[in-house]
Amino acid sequence: MKFLNVIFDDSTGGESKVFRAISEHYQAENLVIFDKKKNMVSEMIVYPMRFILNTLIKVNKDFGTFVSAIVSPLFLKRSYIRRFNFVLFNSSSMAIPATENLIAVVYTPPRALSDRYSDTLELIEARNKFYVPLFMISSSLLNAVYRISASNRKDLVCISGNVRERLRKYYGVDCCVVYPFINVNDYKCTAFSPFFLYVSRINPGKRQHLSIDAFKLFYEGKRSFRLVIAGTVDNTEHSRRYLEELKKMSLGFPVEFVFSPSNEEVREMYANCYLTLFSAQNEDFGLAPLESMASGKPVIALNEGGPKETIINGTTGFLVDDIEGMAERMAYLADNIEETISMGKRGREHVEKNFSPESFFTKIDRLIQSSLEKDKK
């Protein structure tokens, strides 16, 4: 069977890791709709829509990319799609084409149009208030496009209960949950060195500033530790300004930034850190906590989003309500190395048992078979 594996932007996040694993497992041909180097959508998008979207991107990259991410999949060339027996569609914000023999794995609906709408509107107004009416009009149209496309699919898969609830609340769409995975054999525990680690793309949605604030509270009593913030800075003006704010608030404290680390470098940091932090805003799922636990390291995360589904509070890490709670748990584990080691071991066992590649692909295989049987009837 010939598979096509589709994604909008093959960046460095958790979605890309799952996308590549799916591609390898099914020996699929990959279609990346947006070329970040050229700032253009793929030639597999029909003309003139390809021309319209690329023009939008040239005029305003952020807005043009945002629109393209939602609407471009609806204009994939049918002649190209028909070359494949089955399509695996990795959707972060993308509308879902009405194609037979397709399973859509929804990583998130468009957050700028749903749970982050107010934040997005505030950001646009701060940049240029004249863009606000344009965003409000376009967001209504784009929301309708996404809602209709998702409502017409009966074979949606989402990556967490958190994403499922978001789809229900904002789009009236339901789906089954299939958790992403990691291979624990790719991770190891080497040491419990005196540094805390936060691995994620660096942008305001990941809220690294909260982890830094928590570390500063902790550091007043534990000066032997440092904090490492590791990740790629999103190529937007907003994220670059955010990085400068993070640097300023870190002055006078042992906070280190590691930019664009390789996968090997990330695994080495996991292997040697003492524990990890996670403070992203209502994260869709979050592979970083799984990677930490697979490395035998406890996670201290804010009690929201995906971590609520992956971290067993008090067993494999801690879920906390605020930065004060995060600082308290950092201090507790810093003073209790045996508990830290024990939590780490339980975390690795938890990931191996509940978030394995075998479990993920068994469920996807069943859904593929079910979809093929329905299309035969």
Coil/strand/helix, residue 301: strand
Give the separation between CA 115 and CA 109, rounded to whole angstroms.
10
Residue 77 is part of which domain span?
Answer: 3-181+357-376
- Asked if 159 and 248 sit in the same domain, the reply is no
Query: What is the mean predicted confidence (pLDDT) over 364-373?
Result: 90
Average pLDDT for the chain: 94
Taking only the tens place, the pLDDT of each residue in 328-360 is: 999 999 999 999 999 999 999 999 999 999 999
Look at the pTM and tell me if it is higher than 0.85: yes
- Asked if 141 and 273 sit in the same domain, the reply is no
Provide the pLDDT for residue 163.
97
In this prediction, what percent of the chain has a pLDDT beyond 90?
87
Q: How many domains does the chain have?
A: 2
- Asked if 153 and 193 sit in the same domain, the reply is no
CB atoms within 10 A of CB 103: 19
**Residue type, position 131, single letter:** Y
- Asked if 218 and 293 sit in the same domain, the reply is yes
- Asked if 172 and 51 sit in the same domain, the reply is yes
CATH code where residue 328 lies: 3.40.50.2000
- Asked if 201 and 243 sit in the same domain, the reply is yes
Query: What is the mean predicted confidence (pLDDT) over 60-85?
Result: 94
- Asked if 133 and 267 sit in the same domain, the reply is no
**Is the separation of the CB atoms in 103 and 361 below 8 Å?**
no
CATH code where residue 38 lies: 3.40.50
Confidence at 376, pLDDT banded by 50, 70, 90: low
Give the separation between CA 134 and CA 18, rounded to whole angstroms.
34
- Asked if 73 and 131 sit in the same domain, the reply is yes
- Asked if 240 and 264 sit in the same domain, the reply is yes
- Asked if 350 and 361 sit in the same domain, the reply is no
- Asked if 188 and 333 sit in the same domain, the reply is yes
Provide the pLDDT for residue 377.
57
- Kindly tell me if the per-residue pLDDT of 322 is higher than 70: yes
CA distances from 214 to 31, 208, 211, 222, 231 (A): 41, 10, 5, 12, 19
- Asked if 86 and 19 sit in the same domain, the reply is yes
